[in-house]
């Protein structure tokens, strides 16, 4: 009797982590351009997830912070503003509040939002990240008094 052997090969996906460290001056708009050379990554379709944490601030939990990022292509999800007047491209996900009042922060982890998918590596070396609220047609800047954040993108190459 012959013994049948099965071999399972698990190929680890290629995953790339990019960290955006924001330094936003007080009373500025919540939007910042980061410089990153995407040419370091192989071209191909990617699954994109992110995590986010802001500095401590006084939060009142009256609006939902929404993150948009320009990856130089139309992402698979577009957000419809509350007024229904068209669509806002480059939706990445929403942020959560750690609590209400003083000594709280905004955050998201890789389980907070579903992933987005892009058809190829980004090719715009000037990456614009903006944070808006879910009010006034979805185009109003989210503006706590002053804070900084670290957003970590994980790009998993889908081969």
pLDDT at 142: 75
Place of tokens 């995590």: 51
Task: Decide: residue 39, CB within 10 A, 0-12 exposed, 13-18 middle, 19+ buried.
Answer: exposed
**Cα angle vertex 126, ends 136, 140, to 5°?**
10
- Confidence band for 64, pLDDT divided at 50, 70 and 90: confident
Q: Which residues contact 119 (CB under 8 A, 6 or more apart)?
A: 45, 73
Q: How far is CA 37 from CA 34, 71, 110, in A?
A: 10, 12, 23
Domains identified in the chain and CATH numbers: 15-157 (2.60.120)
Q: In the structure encoding, which two tokens stand for residue 142, read together?
A: 């989210």
Q: Do 65 and 94 form a contact (C-beta atoms < 8 A)?
A: yes
**What's the rounded Cα separation, in Å, for the pair 112 and 67?**
13
Helix, strand, or coil (residue 135): coil
Query: Is pTM, for the whole model, over 0.85?
Result: no
The residue-averaged pLDDT of 110-116 equals 91
Residues 11-63 pLDDT 10s? 667 999 999 988 765 555 567 888 899 999 999 999 999 999 988 877 776 78
Residues 67-107 pLDDT 10s? 989 887 655 455 555 444 445 678 899 999 888 777 888 89
What are the phi and psi torsion angles at 149 (to 5°)? -150, 165
> What counts of helices (H) and strands (E) characterise the chain?
0, 12
Place of tokens 């999800």: 77
Above 80 in pLDDT, residue 8?
A: no
pLDDT at 76: 45
pLDDT at 86: 47
Residues 118-159 pLDDT 10s? 889 888 888 888 888 877 655 677 766 556 889 999 999 997
């Amino acid at each position: 009797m012959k013994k049948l052997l099965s071999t399972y090969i698990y190929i680890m996906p290629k995953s790339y982590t990019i960290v955006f460290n924001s330094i936003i001056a007080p009373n500025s708009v919540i939007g910042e351009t980061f410089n990153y050379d995407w040419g370091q990554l192989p071209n191909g379709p990617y699954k994109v997830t992110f995590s986010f944490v802001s500095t401590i601030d006084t939060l009142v939990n009256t609006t939902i912070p929404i993150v948009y990022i320009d990856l130089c292509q139309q992402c698979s999800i577009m957000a419809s503003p509350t007024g229904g007047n068209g669509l806002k491209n480059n939706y990445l996900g929403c942020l959560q509040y750690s609590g209400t009042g003083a000594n709280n922060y905004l955050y998201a982890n890789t389980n907070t939002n579903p992933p987005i998918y892009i058809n190829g590596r980004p090719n715009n070396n000037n990456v614009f990240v903006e944070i808006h609220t879910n009010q006034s047609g979805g185009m109003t800047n989210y503006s706590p008094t002053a804070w900084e954040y670290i957003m970590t993108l994980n790009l998993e190459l889908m081969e």
